[in-house]
Amino acid sequence: MANDAGTVFDLVILGGGSGGYAAALRGAQLGLDVALIEKNKLGGTCLHNGCIPTKALLHAGEIADQARESEQFGIKATFDGVDMAGVHKYKDDVIAGLYKGLQGLFASRKVTYIEGEGKLSSPTSVDVNGQRVQGRHVLLATGSVPKSLPGLEIDGNRIISSDHALTLDRVPKSAIVLGGGVIGVEFASAWKSFGTDVTIVEGLKHLVPVEDENSSKLLERAFRKRGIGFSLGAFFEKAEYTNDGVKVTLANGKEFEAELLLVAIGRGPVSQGLGYEEQGVAMDRGYVLVDEYMQTNVATISAVGDLVPTLQLAHVGFAEGMLVAERLAGLKTVPVDYDGVPRVTYCHPEVASVGITEAKAKEVYGADKVVALKYNLAGNGKSKILKTAGEIKLVQVKDGAVVGVHMVGDRMGEQVGEAQLIYNWEALPAEVAQLIHAHPTQNEAMGEAHLALAGKPLHSHD
């Protein structure tokens, strides 16, 4: 293949999702000549099939719940149903606005954008559209796709993935959600708000199993109250069509029937057939292996985002992409502390956390060196006004820093910014307790929790 116009870029990026486009924008900002290759749309899964559209659906569901429940606030309103065409228009308008803005950023920073399906053809080149794009360095950022299980075929009809769920033209009467992680509980929450009878099947012993166990239990309690069913601790065995839906059988013999089955067991890396292994890139189960600076075993190749075995979060992709761009531009870089990354599950109620769980802290520091405190949102005025329940749980090394903040409650995702600062700056409870938090806000609960942990509780019992 002929090299396109003889240009050798400083950085060639394969994949235009969160990690890839962040590297492109930061690299161009630092004076690198950057080319980015994307087979679908700039913005990738997060913008078009993940973070943004799912949160739009969840917000539409929140509006539906508020309409149904308005009388508890003294407001008389009627709920006449869900117009899915209208919901999709709202969702798609949000996506379109962000997409247009992202395209504008690329144009203003003079990133060379190439639309097409690329393949790594050497340690310093990518082939696309019959041309060879050469670079001094190549960044692999091809992302992920929904996973399934052996023998479970996602057909887009009655057995669907999150991609299908985002464009569903109706509100299903009933649905089984296979997987109680972030994707599963978010769709279960949105569908319940729209009026679907939902059951979650999770093989592990708790919903959102990577979170602190207290957060999982609080979410389970809230879901029971909302009428969201769930089966825990028994793994999936098979799915089969019925006359008018689908039946799921678990390993313990339990059976569930519904109109649809959503397979939400996670996402797997997009790496097959893209030339990675042929060029000597070290792989493991489809993931590209990297060091703490996102460097592969091939000197001229880096990788970021869902393609590497780190947290599958858009903001992690942003951070990893920027790290690579800054490293290539000669700046001093600091590896990502993955424990210090904020994590939010945007169901109702929200689950948010940063740092490590109480169980992990005991494993690392010893059970006698760990202190945990729970602050109930019942003591928080703004949470009372919003009629949300939940807790903020702090995990502290005895006489030391707070190493974990775990929150459950509506809008807790908006509190995770301060939690991130507390963890990453290794704050002592007494230091946070000195800060004055606005009243009445939910953010005030963060201050109250630290006041209590510092031994001077105000709106909570000793």
pTM assigned to the model: 0.95
Identify the pLDDT of residue 207: 98
Asked whether 178 and 265 are in contact (CB, 8 A), the reply is: yes
Q: What's the pLDDT tens digit per position in 167-213?
A: 999 999 999 999 999 999 999 999 999 999 999 999 999 999 999 99
Identify the pLDDT of residue 436: 97
**Distance set, CA 113 to CA 17, 35, 46 (Å):** 13, 6, 19
Angle between helices 314-328 and 18-29 (to 10 degrees): 30
Q: How far apart are CA 41 and CA 142, in angstroms?
A: 12
Asked about 439 being catalytic, the answer comes back as: yes
Computed over every residue of the chain, the mean pLDDT equals 96
Q: How far apart are CA 357 and CA 213, in angstroms?
A: 8
Is pLDDT above 50 for 239? yes
Of the residues 315, 437, 439, 459, only one is catalytic, namely 439
Both tokens of 248, joined, read: 């799921």
Both tokens of 10, joined, read: 């400083």
Q: How far apart are CA 383 and CA 442, in angstroms?
A: 6
Q: What's the pLDDT tens digit per position in 94-121?
A: 999 999 999 999 999 999 999 999 999 9
Can you say how many angstroms the Cα of residue 235 is from the centroid of all Cα atoms in its chain? Answer: 23
Taken as a whole, the chain contains a residue count of: 462
Question: SS3 for 381?
Answer: helix
Q: Using H for helix, E for strand and C for coil, what is the string for 109-140?
A: CCCEEEECCCEEEECCEEEECCEEEEECCEEE
Locus of tokens 């991130």: 420
Q: How far apart are CA 332 and CA 330, in angstroms?
A: 7
Is pLDDT above 60 for 4? no
- What is the average pLDDT across 285-301? 98
